[in-house]
Chains A and B, each alone.
Chain A
Amino acid sequence: MSAISAPAVASKRIRHSSPVFTAVNCTLLVLFTLLIVVPVWNIVISSFSSSGSLGEGVVFWPKQFSLDNYKSVLADSGMWNALFISVAKTGVGVIFHTLFCALFAYPMSKAYLKGRKLYSAMGITTMFFSGGMIPTFLLIKSLGLLNSFWVYIIPALFSYYDVIILMNFFRQVPDELVESAKLDGANEWRIFGSIVLPLSMPGLATIGLFHGVAQWNDFMTTKLYINNESLYPLQMRLYDIIARSQAASSNGGNIGQVVLDTTTRGVRLSTIIITILPILVLYPFVQRYFVSGSLAGAIKG
């Protein structure tokens, strides 16, 4: 099922493929891949260049290798606080979101659940209709969640898309196992906790990772509901740096602003790298979960 493990049928066809076609095809793919890799690489090496050299243009290799950009970013205590908030909201969010969705998805994976049609109609409605930005803002406000850490966690607890994925995983748990546990006197909570959840770890990992990336990358929640700097995650810090340099560069090019631009640029680049570092490091190892998750979602979704 995974697109990544090349299917056996592909190897069968190799013998018949035309060399010219393959050469052209692979060349184009290499070019496309370079189109992704070269710009990202450019950001990495720029962040290791001295801020003075950034003005001269850095392309493939660092100019005047320096760690100054990182030193000045990491010397900022607000940065460490933002890192803590990012890690905390991602960690707490993943655990609560995954368990909350699983709790809903387990009964929903049973065809005999009474009211199931109504519940799934409600869930599907949430996927297509929403009140939009303003009514949601007023709700968050009236719940007293403005400027609270919990605004990162509570409104993000539930996602019907994730429930659908989990339902697919829960259906794979053999019925016989559940039946025999019932005969042994286990109640539904016990079955859920000691049989279904442990057997569905790949599914839980998939949802957890999806939500983890979403939490780590989320910026709108902060922008909309938080104006207390001590609750800013990395994304918001980066946005502030960007907004400042955008304002500086778009207000015309007098000398003072150009200087400001080159110094904030180094800070911006190293903040970008610090913010994507966890994704860059973990991504090769967890990629298969994302792929299987997006497939499972598409099959029933």
Chain B
Amino acid sequence: MNSVGLKVPMGQRLSQWWSRFAYQWQLQLMVLPGIIFMIIFNFIPIYGLVLAFKNYTVVDTIGDAPWVGWDNFRIILTDKYFWDSVWNTVGISVIKLSLGFILPILLAVMIYEVPWGPFKKIVQTLTYLPHFFSWIILGGMLISWLSSNGLLNQLLSFVGIHSNMNYLLEANKYWGIASLSDVWKEAGWGTILYLAVMAGIDPTLYEAAEMDGASKIQRIWHITLPELRGMITLNLILSVSGLFGSNLDQTLVLMNSQNQPKAEVINSYVYRMGLTQGDFSYATAVGLGVSIISVILLVATNLLSKKINDNQSVL
């Protein structure tokens, strides 16, 4: 419409944009409810984070509450229970992350190498299943399995180890229980994306490698795993950024008065301080601190993976 080289004045460009916008008013009307939803349910709570810098008591509205600057954060620094919950969160997450990251890769490679379709399908169907159990369900199951006469002790007695320990009442066993049960729940499901990538690997690569005398293990090591590299990096970034966001459902259902010193995680601490004890501002400050650390971790891992992965970034 405008001849080449001629600068279109801002006003005209705006009115052009506007007239096109108005022309697709029906489409814009369809988008509108979603936009309104996001503003109310996602962006207003982000604004609510100012609570962390205020002293909010239930009678105030957020706007009326007095500013207190960094006071809430200063209290955090000397709060023993907060640091205990940080330590537990990191401890559980590191075990969870290292196992939960490697196991799906291993499983996916193993499933990929199965020559019979039906066997493959049965393994996949059964290993995906626990992903669909809620933490309440799995928590209820774990309480039964780990009780003094539950499955674990029964199986141990088959191999000659007699004990009637209730594992959930042992604080020093809690990290293991929390991380392993999470890995048990999600490992099978975690294979889906790797299997999808592997389905796209060019089979001639394997044939060529075989011609050259590569063994099965060598073919996995030199062909399959390098092909998975992008997906592995993506999963690593996502799981590292979630390092501090330990599962609240899991903690609420598995925590009891005996294991609490090892079970309290940041999220359950926020829940307890905020909603049970009514200290909204302090709980918001804790939550905000943790989200900021998570974002820093996300950006840092992304930068790191760019360096390692020849400038391939995921974000």
CB neighbours of A13 from chain B (8 A) = 115, 203, 206
Please state if B34 and A25 are interface contacts (CB–CB under 8 Å).
Answer: no
Q: What mask results when residues 200 to 244 of chain B are scored 1 for a CB within 8 Å of chain A, else 0?
A: 010100100010000111000000000000000000000000000
- Which residue of chain A is the closest to B158 with respect to CB atoms? A59
Known: A110-B27, A249-B169. A135 touches B51 (CB 8 A): yes
A67 at the interface (CB under 8 A from B): no
- Which residue of chain B is the closest to A42 with respect to CB atoms? B151
B28 at the interface (CB under 8 A from A): yes
Q: What mask results when residues 145 to 162 of chain B are scored 1 for a CB within 8 Å of chain A, else 0?
A: 101011101110000000
B46 at the interface (CB under 8 A from A): yes
Please state if A135 and B49 are interface contacts (CB–CB under 8 Å).
Answer: yes
Stretch at the interface among A77-85, A198-206, A267-275: A267-275
**CB-CB contacts below 8 Å: B126-175 with A:** 126-130, 132-137, 139-141, 143-145, 147, 149-151, 153-155, 166, 168-169
Please state if B184 and A132 are interface contacts (CB–CB under 8 Å).
Answer: no
B20 at the interface (CB under 8 A from A): yes
Please state if B184 and A36 are interface contacts (CB–CB under 8 Å).
Answer: yes
Known: A213-B132, A250-B258. A119 touches B271 (CB 8 A): no
Interface residue tally for chain A (C-beta within 8 Å)? 112
CB neighbours of B256 from chain A (8 A) = 246-247, 249-250
B249 at the interface (CB under 8 A from A): yes
B38 at the interface (CB under 8 A from A): yes
A88 to B160, CA, bound (A): 49
| Chain B: interface size category | 35 or more
- Which residue of chain B is the closest to A160 with respect to CB atoms? B38
B86 at the interface (CB under 8 A from A): no
CB neighbours of A284 from chain B (8 A) = 125
CB neighbours of A143 from chain B (8 A) = 40
A10 to B117, CA, bound (A): 9
Q: What mask results when residues 42 to 85 of chain B are scored 1 for a CB within 8 Å of chain A, else 0?
A: 11111111010000000000100000000000000000000000
Please state if A238 and B137 are interface contacts (CB–CB under 8 Å).
Answer: yes
Contact of B20 (CB < 8 Å), options: A55, A114, A136, A287:
A114
**CB-CB contacts below 8 Å: A42-73 with B:** 42-43, 46, 54-59
Contact of A55 (CB < 8 Å), options: B136, B139, B149, B196:
B149
Known: A110-B27, A272-B141. A7 touches B149 (CB 8 A): no
A73 to B210, CA, bound (A): 60
Please state if A114 and B38 are interface contacts (CB–CB under 8 Å).
Answer: no
Please state if A59 and B188 are interface contacts (CB–CB under 8 Å).
Answer: no
A-B CB proximity, top 10 nearest: A135-B48, A131-B45, A104-B34, A217-B134, A3-B195, A132-B287, A188-B26, A250-B256, A9-B203, A107-B27
- B residues with a Cβ closer than 8 A to A are 17, 20-21, 24, 26-28, 30-31, 33-35, 37-38, 40-49, 51, 62, 107, 110-115, 117, 119-130, 132-137, 139-141, 143-145, 147, 149-151, 153-155, 166, 168-169, 184, 188, 191-193, 195-196, 199, 201, 203, 206, 210, 215-217, 248-249, 252-253, 256-258, 267, 270-271, 274-275, 280, 283-284, 287-288, 291, 295, 298
11 contacts between A and B (CB under 8 A): A3-B124, A22-B115, A33-B126, A40-B130, A43-B141, A132-B49, A134-B270, A135-B48, A220-B249, A284-B125, A298-B196
